[in-house]
C-alpha cells in the first residue's frame, strides 16, 4: 500500500516510515521539509494521490492554548478534506491517553478537538492514544523544576518507548481501521520514581496538589484503561 506519514521526519514518523518500508509498503514521509504542509495545505493533494492510508503524527510548534488548538483543527481539517478528495480509505492518528479526561489542559483539549474531527469525518479511522514517551522524561523534569528542585504531582505515569509506538502504528496502518485504541508502557511508576530512576542527580519533591504542565491530575489520569495494548520495553530495557 501507499502510506503517507504526515510528520514523517520527526521522532515517531521517521521510525514509522522505515518500519513500513520494511513491511513492503510505499511509505512516503510528508512534512514541510519535503514540501508538504498540513496547516497551509501546500503539497497535500500531490502527496496523497493514490494513497491508501494516511498516518498523522504531527505536533504543534506551540503549546499555548490558542495556537495549539488552531494547529490541530486546521491541520486535521486540511488532511481530512484532502483524503476525501483522494479516496483515502484509512486515517490513522497518534493521540494521547487522557485527552477526554483532562479538560483543564489546553493541549489535551486541542487533541480532543482533533479526535472529534476525525470521528465525525466519515473516513474509516484508527486513533491511537499513547501514554507519555520515555524520551520526554527529561523535558517533563525540566518543565517541573523550580530552583533546581523537580516538583511532581502525586500521580502515576506509564511511559512507553518511542520505538514501540512506531511499531504499533506500523501494525495499525497496515491493517483494518480499529477505531479508538489505547497503547501504554508495561510498567506504572509514580512521577517521583520515574524521574529519580532516569535522572538520579535531580532532587525530586512530591506535591500533593502538584500539576502536570499546569493541569491537575487524578492518580490514573495518564495511565491506560481496560483493553489497552501494552508494549514490551521496560524502563531497564530502555536505559541499556
pLDDT above 90 (res 210): no
Q: How far apart are CA 72 and CA 25, in angstroms?
A: 27
Least confident of 97-106, 171-180, 227-236: 97-106
Task: Specify burial of residue 15 (Cβ count, 10 A radius: 0-12, 13-18, 19+).
Answer: buried
pLDDT above 90 (res 34): yes
**Res. 143 pLDDT band, cuts 50 70 90:** very high
69-107 confidence digits (pLDDT tens): 999 999 999 999 999 999 999 999 999 999 988 989 999
**Res. 208 pLDDT band, cuts 50 70 90:** confident
Q: Enter the pTM of the model.
A: 0.96
Count CB atoms within 10 A of the CB of residue 239. 9
Amino acid at each position: 500500500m501507499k502510506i503517507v506519514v504526515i510528520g514523517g521526519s520527526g521522532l515517531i514518523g521517521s521510525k514509522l516510515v522505515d518500519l513500513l518500508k520494511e513491511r513492503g509498503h510505499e511509505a512516503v514521509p510528508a512534512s514541510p521539509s519535503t514540501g508538504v504542509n498540513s496547516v497551509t495545505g501546500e503539497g497535500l493533494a500531490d502527496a496523497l494521490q493514490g494513497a491508501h492510508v494516511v498516518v498523522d503524527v504531527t505536533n504543534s510548534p506551540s503549546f499555548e492554548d490558542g495556537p495549539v488548538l488552531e494547529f490541530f483543527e486546521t491541520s486535521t481539517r486540511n488532511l481530512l478534506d484532502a483524503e476525501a478528495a483522494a479516496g483515502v480509505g484509512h486515517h490513522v492518528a497518534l493521540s494521547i491517553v487522557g485527552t477526554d479526561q483532562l479538560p483543564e489542559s489546553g493541549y489535551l483539549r486541542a487533541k480532543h478537538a482533533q479526535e472529534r474531527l476525525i470521528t465525525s469525518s466519515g473516513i474509516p479511522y484508527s486513533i491511537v492514544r499513547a501514554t507519555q514517551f520515555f524520551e520526554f522524561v527529561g523535558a517533563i523534569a525540566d518543565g517541573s523544576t523550580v530552583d533546581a528542585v523537580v516538583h511532581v504531582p502525586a500521580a502515576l505515569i506509564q511511559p512507553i518507548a518511542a520505538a514501540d509506538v512506531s511499531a504499533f502504528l506500523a501494525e495499525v496502518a497496515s491493517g483494518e481501521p480499529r477505531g479508538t485504541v489505547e497503547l501504554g508502557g508495561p510498567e506504572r511508576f509514580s512521577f517521583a520514581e520515574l524521574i529519580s530512576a532516569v535522572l538520579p542527580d535531580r532532587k525530586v519533591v512530591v506535591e500533593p496538589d502538584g500539576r502536570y504542565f499546569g493541569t491537575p491530575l487524578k492518580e490514573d489520569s495518564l495511565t491506560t484503561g481496560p483493553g489497552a495494548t501494552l508494549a514490551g520495553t521496560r524502563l531497564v530495557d530502555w536505559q541499556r
